[in-house]
Structure 1
Amino acid sequence: MDSLERLEAIAAITALKARYFHTMDTKDWAGLEAVFAPDLVADFRDATETHDPSQLTHGAAPYVAKLAPILQDVVTVHHGHTPEITIESSDSARGVWAMEDKLWPRETSQLPFRMLHGYGHYHERYIRIGGEWRIAEIRLSRLRVDAA
């Protein structure tokens, strides 16, 4: 892979992550599922104060099916910053993104808080399928969570 191809891959992965944030915040569940590889590994076990084994999900469809009802009645704002993307081959890459999210559950939400402001990092592995980059693995580690 030459320098131009690496830059093109990094730009495509950056756009992919932007779609991840946008589709989640707009509740476009089909669009969110489309950013993932079908055999996605979503690891959010350490995204809360206690290690939660139930937050490891295999498969894009099961992950979105689990996430959608939780966030449907929640206004969310997700931001990703300062990506560190490493191209490993023409069809694989890894990345770390600093992240910040804010969640405001509506009255109908079952979440146990009225506001959450989180900070941390997404650790990801990407693969290219049919010429398109997809998130194959996603793990969230939190540095801080403020909730009320």
Structure 2
Amino acid sequence: MNQLNGIVRRLDELESVESIKKLKARYFRFIDEKKHAELAALFTPDATVVTDGITWASPKEFADTIRDLTGAAPSVHHGYMPEIEITGPDTASGTWSMDDLLTFPAGPQAPEGHHGYGQYRETYRRVDGQWLIDSVLLTRFRMDPLENWIPVE
């Protein structure tokens, strides 16, 4: 490989890593902004999604379940300290530290809120020039309960 080819390869890897970081940022933002159709579109159609031991049939089922469980409840999701490795011309893997906060309006049937801490282990695939999430394994290491809130009327 000549020097120019090496520079082009390294530049592509840097651009790919940055694109994957932006992809994951949109993932967290779409969850918190309740943009569930947009969230599902961040995945390959045949992506494997496993969260806290639950395997979802499809990215759409995952996004729809988040919509149905959280409704309008405010949430905060953070991902940080990414370790992204380009594994092939159109494939990559990554590990992200995460924490999330979710609380619900108080009521007799309200689920308990939580502050969770954990890790995402993911793979990515470039499809038609766009990086998408191809697999997700979310494991939470700790879940602290949070009190729910009373909506202001």
Q: TM-score range by the shorter chain?
A: 0.7 to 0.9
1: CA distance, partners of 2:39 / 2:15: 22
Greater CA radius of gyration, 1 or 2? Answer: 2
Number of the residue aligned with 1:10: 17
Which 10-residue stretch deviates more, 98-107 or 58-67? 58-67
Q: CA RMSD in A?
A: 1.7
| Closer/same/farther in 2, CA of residues 119 and 45 from structure 1, 3 Å limit | closer
2: CA distance, partners of 1:12 / 1:31: 17
2: CA distance, partners of 1:109 / 1:10: 45
SS in 1 for 2:21: helix
| Closer/same/farther in 2, CA of residues 69 and 135 from structure 1, 3 Å limit | same
Number of the residue aligned with 2:117: 119
Number of the residue aligned with 2:151: none
1: CA distance, partners of 2:130 / 2:109: 36
Number of the residue aligned with 2:100: 101
Gaps of 5+ in 2: 1-7, 147-153
- 8 A Cα contact 1:92 1:126, kept in partner: yes
1: CA distance, partners of 2:76 / 2:118: 14
2: CA distance, partners of 1:90 / 1:18: 22
Instruction: Describe how 1:15-54 pairs up with structure 2 within 5 A.
Output: 15-46=22-53
Number of the residue aligned with 1:147: 145
State the identity %: 36
2: CA distance, partners of 1:108 / 1:71: 14
Gaps of 5+ in 1: 47-54
Aligned length: 139
- 8 A Cα contact 1:74 1:109, kept in partner: no
Partner AA of 2:11 in structure 1: L
In the TM superposition, what is the alpha-carbon distance from 1:109 to its structure 2 partner? 9.6
Which 10-residue stretch deviates more, 56-65 or 92-101? 56-65
The superposition leaves residues 85-140 of structure 1 with CA deviations (integer Å, 9 ceiling, x where unpaired) of 01001211000000010001124795521x31010101101001111011111111
Matched, 1:74 2:73: yes
> So what's the TM-score if we normalise by structure 1?
0.87
